[in-house]
Amino acid sequence: MRLLLASIRLIAALLVTGFTMSQARSQTGYRLLHNFGATSSDGINPYAGVSVDSAGKVYGASYSGGAHALGMVWEIDTAGNYHDLHDFDGVDGAKPSAGVTFDSVGNLYGTCGASPSGYGNVWEIDAAGNYHDLHDFDPFTDGPGEDPMAGVTIDSAGNLYGTCTDGGLYSAGMIWELDTSGNYHDLHDFGAGTDGTDPKAGVTVDSAGKLHGTCYSGGADSLGMVWEIDESGKYHDLHDFGADTGGGANPIAGVTIDSAGNLYGTCVFGSANSESGNGMVWQIDTSSNYHDLHDFFSANPEGANPWAGVTIDSAGNLYGTCTNGGTGGGGIVWEIDKAGSYRHLHDFVDGTLADGANPFAGVTIDAAGNLSGTCESGGSADGGVVWNIYFGGPVLSSFSTAPSALGGSALAGSVSLAGAATPMDTGTVQITSDNSAIPSTSIVVPGGATGTSFALQCGAVTSQSTIHLTASKGGVSKTSTVVLYPGLASFALSPASIFPGEPCNGTLTLNLPAPAGGWLVHLSSNDKKVGVPSSVTVPEGQSAVSFPVTVPSASLGETAQISAKDVDVTLSQNLNITALYTSAISVSPSIISAGNTATGTVTLNTAAPSGFTVNLASQYPSYVGVPATLTIPANASSATFQITTKAALVARPMRC
């Protein structure tokens, strides 16, 4: 019979992820997606693993906690946000130890170990978010079956399958079906003769419609067994665990089928090695031969007691967890690659709130090939965690940046991935730089997105710098070359030499048009009398700006230094202020008789650029008259004026 079954398995469909491995994978990181129990209404103690839908959203159920402390259903969206989808209240179900299963239209299904009947139920949360109690197990009113520990499996027609650990015709558990019309069927009652008993795992359906599963106990050696129900509904015992049949005992997890039809699973106890007994990984090949793939040893320290089963990627690598053991004592995530090499991907650290501990559930692989699961305890609130081991997800597809930028500005760029990033895949693109003016960094592509735009903050540069950036993800690298320029290219004063009071303008020119928000330049003068604005902003998109320089008319000759400073450089220009002032006054003759006139001469220090007006005053204007002002013509350095005196008003010579 087993040869027949093995041949059938050869055509079994792959029931695991569709992720395609194209190259050897190296783990790039581990992270926690959620810490349960941080709030009083959050779920705690997830025994079940996670499910990931096609959009990348992660679902699961917590055995306890929630608004009524009776467990709940949760979701982590593609942006990584955690949502409470349903809180079990004891009337609609309670204490779900199994996880969530999707159908093709987005409805969620699961089971609870307790229900209004007291024997558990099957529930649905439809795509609109409405909760439905599909079936209450009740051996007295609705046929046999009690206490479902495993979740729901859906075949291609939409029928639901599962097991009950108790009840059934022999009170040793059973296999049930809810057809698409909602009718409940008892497919098999465990416990007759040497049949298995106490099926803790659920049902696996292959593409031919055959059902597969395990029993925790029973079988020929009472240490559990592997069963199958064929297309015709006939039940078969595929393997009985025991020392005489290759080791292994008491499988809690169910069956996983690879693309070739081989069956895989774990036993929580036992092993082929008599010194072990901490569980093992087994395979039943398509020829019905039983193989011990790995024995867990507690002394290594290795993992121990794998409650969860095997997950297979399309490359044939196997993944799973051990609830106990490992270097941290909190269990492990393990991998057996296609070549049979075993390794730990993660050792959970017990006794610390920084990591989860004791994973009862197995591994889920998302579309990007990353692994996730849950721990029943540990985490920041010691309520368990959702963990994630990522391998990089979709590879980098493109990387581009602006070809140039000003030092101190933001460099615009974008990255795109070969596929959509998911919460399981951090979507992190590493960007390395050969110049610290643009520091190496990482860009996160949000979950569900295939790319993102970003702005890298550039540091200051004092000279033109060519920088090479390399973006990498998933072993694919792309480069971009960026030229960073100092902001200020030039600074000019016009005119550079002025007479006091004359207008002057400063002009700043940038190496590139100003970025968004404009380009701020601080101004200063080393001469307090020479006024400049404290700062000017080159408008966004513009390359230059002008500002006034004010020099009071009373200034004497001097050279003022005007400085312009941006984040990159400081440029300075000298402003030569040529003094213009009255340097001398004389009269001729210097002695005159009252009533006579004299000529006064006002002389400037240099020729006036334009008419320059000098004020005149006499000590005794009643006796000696002078004009109020004298204008020295442009380009002249002196001018004369007439001095008049009042005739014969004094009796003696008067020298003032």
Shortest separation between residue 579's beta carbon and other proteins, angstroms: 7
Pair of tokens at residue 336: 């057996």
* Amino acid, res. 173: G
CB 490 within 8 A of CB 543: no
CB 556 within 8 A of CB 579: yes
State which of residues 67, 353, 455, 594 lies at the interface with other proteins (CB under 8 A): 594
* Amino acid, res. 395: V
* Amino acid, res. 293: L
Task: Please identify, using beta-carbon distances, which residue of 40 and 553 lies nearer to other proteins.
Answer: 553
Shortest separation between residue 535's beta carbon and other proteins, angstroms: 30
**Judged by CB under 8 A, does residue 13 bind other proteins?**
no
Q: How far is CA 171 from the centre of its chain?
A: 50
**Judged by CB under 8 A, does residue 591 bind other proteins?**
yes
State which of residues 235, 477, 623, 636 lies at the interface with other proteins (CB under 8 A): 623
- 3-state class (DSSP) for residue 483: strand
Task: Please identify, using beta-carbon distances, which residue of 483 and 594 lies nearer to other proteins.
Answer: 594
**Per-residue mark of binding to other proteins, 464-503 (x: CB under 8 A):** ------------------------------------xx--
> Residue 166 and residue 171: Cα distance in Å, rounded?
6
Task: Please identify, using beta-carbon distances, which residue of 512 and 580 lies nearer to other proteins.
Answer: 580
**Judged by CB under 8 A, does residue 575 bind other proteins?**
no
Shortest separation between residue 636's beta carbon and other proteins, angstroms: 14
Shortest separation between residue 605's beta carbon and other proteins, angstroms: 9
**Judged by CB under 8 A, does residue 402 bind other proteins?**
no
> 497-498 and 570-577: which strand pairing?
parallel
- 3-state class (DSSP) for residue 630: strand
User: Which residues in the 499-558 window bind other proteins by CB under 8 A?
Assistant: 500-501, 552-556
> Residue 608 and residue 580: Cα distance in Å, rounded?
7
**Judged by CB under 8 A, does residue 223 bind other proteins?**
no
Task: Please identify, using beta-carbon distances, which residue of 442 and 605 lies nearer to other proteins.
Answer: 605
> Residue 209 and residue 272: Cα distance in Å, rounded?
32
State which of residues 128, 182, 619, 628 lies at the interface with other proteins (CB under 8 A): 619
204-to-150, 167, 518 alpha-carbon distances in Å: 11, 21, 63
Task: Please identify, using beta-carbon distances, which residue of 336 and 560 lies nearer to other proteins.
Answer: 560
- Picking from 263, 354, 364, the residue whose alpha carbon sits closest to that of residue 308 is 364
- 3-state class (DSSP) for residue 408: coil
Pair of tokens at residue 532: 């400049």
Shortest separation between residue 434's beta carbon and other proteins, angstroms: 58
**Judged by CB under 8 A, does residue 602 bind other proteins?**
yes
**Judged by CB under 8 A, does residue 612 bind other proteins?**
yes
DSSP code for 244: G
**Judged by CB under 8 A, does residue 596 bind other proteins?**
yes
Shortest separation between residue 596's beta carbon and other proteins, angstroms: 5
Cα dihedral sign, 320-323-325-330? positive
- Picking from 383, 493, 486, 398, the residue whose alpha carbon sits closest to that of residue 35 is 383
**Judged by CB under 8 A, does residue 592 bind other proteins?**
yes
> Residue 493 and residue 549: Cα distance in Å, rounded?
9
> 404-406 and 476-485: which strand pairing?
parallel
Task: Please identify, using beta-carbon distances, which residue of 518 and 625 lies nearer to other proteins.
Answer: 625
# of chain residues touching other proteins (CB under 8 A):
50
Q: How far is CA 500 from the centre of its chain?
A: 60
Of the candidate spans 31-39, 233-241, 325-333, 609-617, the one that interacts with other proteins by CB under 8 A turns out to be: 609-617
State which of residues 203, 367, 575, 626 lies at the interface with other proteins (CB under 8 A): 626
Shortest separation between residue 621's beta carbon and other proteins, angstroms: 10
> Residue 133 and residue 123: Cα distance in Å, rounded?
4
Of the candidate spans 17-25, 355-363, 409-417, 619-627, the one that interacts with other proteins by CB under 8 A turns out to be: 619-627
Residues contacting residue 579 through CB under 8 Å, at least 6 positions apart: 499, 500, 555, 556, 557, 558, 605, 606
**Which residue do the tokens 């030499």 mark?**
497
State which of residues 586, 610, 635, 642 lies at the interface with other proteins (CB under 8 A): 586
Task: Please identify, using beta-carbon distances, which residue of 457 and 635 lies nearer to other proteins.
Answer: 635
**Judged by CB under 8 A, does residue 634 bind other proteins?**
no
User: Which residues in the 120-149 window bind other proteins by CB under 8 A?
Assistant: none
Point out which residues bind other proteins (CB under 8 A): 500-501, 552-556, 579-587, 590-596, 598, 600, 602, 612-620, 623-624, 626, 630, 643, 645, 647-648, 650-656
